[in-house]
Structure 1
C-alpha cells in the first residue's frame, strides 16, 4: 500500500512562503523594540535579507535617529525643551504606527517622515 500523506507541491510552497513571511514579520516587530531589538533584527535579517523586514528595520532606524536628534535638541534651554517634548510625543506616535504596520504585515511608511527614511536609508 502506498502512503498518500504527502502534501502537494503547491501546498508545500504556500507553507514555505508563510514561514518566511512569519519570520520576516517577527524580525520587523523586533526592530521596533528598543535599540537592542533593532540591532538584533539587523543581525537576524543579515542572512536572508527579507524585503519586508529590511523595510521596517529602515523605518525603525529612522525613528531611533530622530529620537537621538530630539535628545540633542533637548539640551537647548527652554525652546529646545519644548521642541524636544513635542517631538517626543510625535515620535511615540510614529513608533506606534510603525509597530502596528509591522504587526499587520503592512509595508507602509510611518507618517510624516517615513518617505524620508526610505530615501535616506535606501542603501542599507
Structure 2
C-alpha cells in the first residue's frame, strides 16, 4: 500500500513526463492531495507554459541560435524540476520557480 508521501513523490515525478503525464498527475493529486505533488504539478505546468511561450517568441523572431538557447533553457529547467521530484524535495526551478507557485496557486 502506498503512503501519502509515496503518492506525493509519484505524482511529482509523473508531472514532468509530457503533457499527458502532467494531466495524469493532476488527476492523481486531486484525488489525494499532497504538498509535494501539488508543488511539482505547479512547477511542471510553469515549465511547460514557459517553453510554449518562448518557443512561439523565438519562432516569430526566426533566429536559429535563439531557438536552440530557448530549448536548452527549458530542458535545464525540466531536468532540475525532475531531479527535485525524484529526491522528494520542494525546490523551485531557478529564476521562475517561485513565481509558478504564486501564479498557479489555484491548482
Q: TM-score, normalised by structure 1?
A: 0.79
Q: Note the 1:22-33 alignment, pairs <5 A.
A: 22-33=6-17
Specify the structure having the higher radius of gyration (Cα).
Answer: 1
Comparing 111-120 with 51-60, greater Cα deviation is found at 111-120
Question: How far apart in 2 are the matches of 1:25 and 1:97?
Answer: 15
Q: Which residue of 1 aligns with 2:18?
A: 34
Q: Greater shift after overlay, 45-54 or 55-64?
A: 45-54
User: Is residue 91 of structure 1 aligned with residue 64 of structure 2?
Assistant: no
Give the equivalent residue in structure 2 for 1:48: 32
Higher relative contact order (CA 8 A, sep 6+): 2
Normalised TM-score (structure 2): 0.91
d(CA) in 2 for partners of 1:77, 1:98:
28
Deviates more, 1:85-94 or 1:69-78: 69-78
Unaligned runs of 5+ in 1: 1-15
Per-residue deviation at 1:86? 0.9
Structure 2: runs of 5+ lacking an equivalent: none
- Segments of 4+ moved more than 6 angstroms: none
- For 2:103 and 2:65, the matched residues in 1 are separated by 27
Q: Indicate yes or no: 2:46 matched with 1:62.
A: yes
Between Structure 1 and Structure 2, how many residues are aligned? 107
CA displacement 1:91-114 (0-9 Å, x = unmatched): 100000000000001011011110
